[in-house]
Chain A
Amino acid sequence: MSAQSATLKSKEELIEKWSKPEVITGSEMLLRSLLLEGVDCVFGYPGGAVLYIYDAMYGFSDFNHLLTRHEQGAIHAADGYARSTGKVGVCIATSGPGATNLVTGIATAYMDSVPLVVITGNVATTLIGSDAFQEADIVGITMPITKHSYLVRDVKDLPRIVHEAFHIANTGRKGPVLIDIPKDVSAAKALFEPVKEVHLRGYNPTVQPNRNQVEKMIRAIEQAERPVLLVGGGAIYSGAHEELFEFVTKTEIPITTTLLGLGVFPTGHELHMGFPGMHGTWTANTAIQNADLLINIGARFDDRVTGKLSGFAPQAKVVHVDIDPAEIGKNVPTEIPIVGDAKAVLQVANTLAKRADKADAWRAQIRQWKESKPFSYTDSDTELKPQWVISMIHETTKGDAIVTTDVGQHQMWAAQFYPFNKPRSFVTSGGLGTMGFGFPSAIGAQMGNPDRTVVSINGDGGMQMCAQELAVCAINNIPVKVAILNNQVLGMVRQWQELIYDNRYSHIDLAGSPDFVKLAEAYGVKGFRATNKEEARRAWEEALKHPGPAVVEFVVRKEENVFPMVPQGSTIDQMLMGDSE
């Protein structure tokens, strides 16, 4: 990858090179500070207010800068990079429209607790508040969707602010932090000295849990006859997958992982029930509804998981492990709250955990449910079924790819039919449900994981929300494999209009979309189309073999629906099962 050709030096060399106290501009301070935070790749788009910063980047090779074709592409790429690596994603945009184009991406990261440092330029401090050209109050606009934000008023504060921003973004409950840098600040000079410490009186996340609370959880497990573990993205973000595996092995509690938790525990494991919620497994939902103990680790009881809140897990004593105290008791009353980092909590729990001995009948019941009600669909010999395509992608990538998705039916099918076994392998916008996320996030994931196969699964709708980033893949030879499940319709909206709005199909027809093969080729990306299984397999295998980026359009059945489905407002055991009902 030419974009990765920059010779990345070791951290030690960088620290030595950049730590020397020196009078430099704010722009140079920013770059040095990013390097000292270990940044190896940033995604961005220049403009008037960040010209000094981009000037400092001229001929600069200590990290990669990827020029996207839209700021939204840049921030989704940074997000995909962060989710797939665990490192902080960084993006840069100019003031005004550049900054506002980041808003959807910031909200996406905020909802899913993704660590980003978002750098925007702003008009000079002397012009702020005067409705200057390309001025927008991006700090104000993004206050509800950032973990924290800074408007840098004095260049001397910049090194401290960058260091704090990285610390805040990637500790506690992770999230996006915005740094807004007025143009005169990026031009001003001051003495640069690296900042190594953080003094934030108002920020001190609780990592280590209260041991008494963990002991309470252990006693509850000993008593439980029908225990269920519900594990979310928090367990992935804290790197708790090994501790979780040990905990499940010791306790033998059946486990369900949320959409964002997929991969933290092997999907094929006999105790794994799949994901819960609106399009989750019959087994996971039924188990939650019948559980007498529900242990939530790093999930936030999102409404897509709980369904009708008042009827959720009606018999369960609830244990909630979360690094964010505000999530505990927010949606679901909790008997045993445990504030702490998932990994730290599980480490303590594993020293105490014993097998849930009273739950043998429950485990047998769950095994039987799993066998009788797996995810299923009716395959076809005449039409290409999207579920079959996902299974074929799974098979041909040996289940080992990083998969990013957009939002809608294909997202649910990817979650259902691509069983994940490793954390940080499934990159999807769960909380905000951002269309346009799937493809650019794959670019970021590939930049962060040059040795892994990165597959981006999209619908024909979402693909057109950020298709311009094909240029980035082509120019930098970023070998993302893009699958487009083209049903010529906004499928999830169609499904709701069919099932809930009485077949009144309002404004969902996407026929007349571009020829995706030609679109890919127009950008210099290899394109394929498949309308049946044979073509699909051949095209996909060729795409995988191709050393560069490739787009495969799968023309799939329009009327296919995602099942099971919990209609909004129902409890999660009220599932429409579709064909298999």
Chain B
Amino acid sequence: MRTITVDQVIETVAGLCQEANFRLGEDVLAAIERAQDEEISLTGKDILQQLLKNAEIAREEAVPICQDTGFAVVFLELGQDVHIAGGDLYAAVNEGVRRGYRDGYLRKSIVDHPFNRVNTGDNTPAVIHTRIVPGEHLRIIVAPKGGGSENMSALKMLKPAEGVAGVKKFVVETVRAAGPNPCPPIIVGVGIGGTFEKAALLAKEALLRPLGTPAADPAAAALEKELLETINGLGIGPQGLGGQVTALAVHVEVHPCHIASLPVAVNLNCHASRHKEALL
């Protein structure tokens, strides 16, 4: 049994909220640089250059990459031999978000009720996903998610007979319909299988994988390559103004499913793919 205090959790979450919003991952930067070489649209090339410059300013001046500093989505992998001391774990995560967003001058984008819509003023509550794992560590991943790309995400329960062709069609149509709205070049997270909510969570988790790392499942990895090629053939391009780089990556995660079901979830992310993690 190992003890981790809520104060450690608060401090870690607060730091990760800021780091995620100020520092674009090296994998994303490398992907944008590659995209700049590949893009044939001059406007597209210029936009990608602006995104690189933007990331540099954000990193150097500790200002947010994007003004939409997101819904704080927090993944906890809690070792079953950890004892959380000093208070409520989820309250600690929310306190970390509160401090991180306040001290980092991050935008508060959460409203208290879907109809009432009064800003909570501190970007809480976070959306927290917890997994209990073996061991005596707590892994915390903070993944702030912007509204623009989240709004263009979609889920569909396909018939098993529609198969992989049906999955491809749904993913490509989701990206096509989204067009310029999710701020391309995007990262496409796809969750296939499981139940309704499992597919959605898989799609979100797919966005956390380092860009360019293929799926562990060979069929999923093959589908990623095929989807990326089709999506980049749509012509949407950087910011939807026309070009060859619409997506930087497609990440697919699969899960066993019911004999009657073929759920597919597509979670879109803008180029500001923000997620940072720490291991306590």
A associates with B: no
Binding site for B on A (CB under 8 A): none
Binding site for A on B (CB under 8 A): none
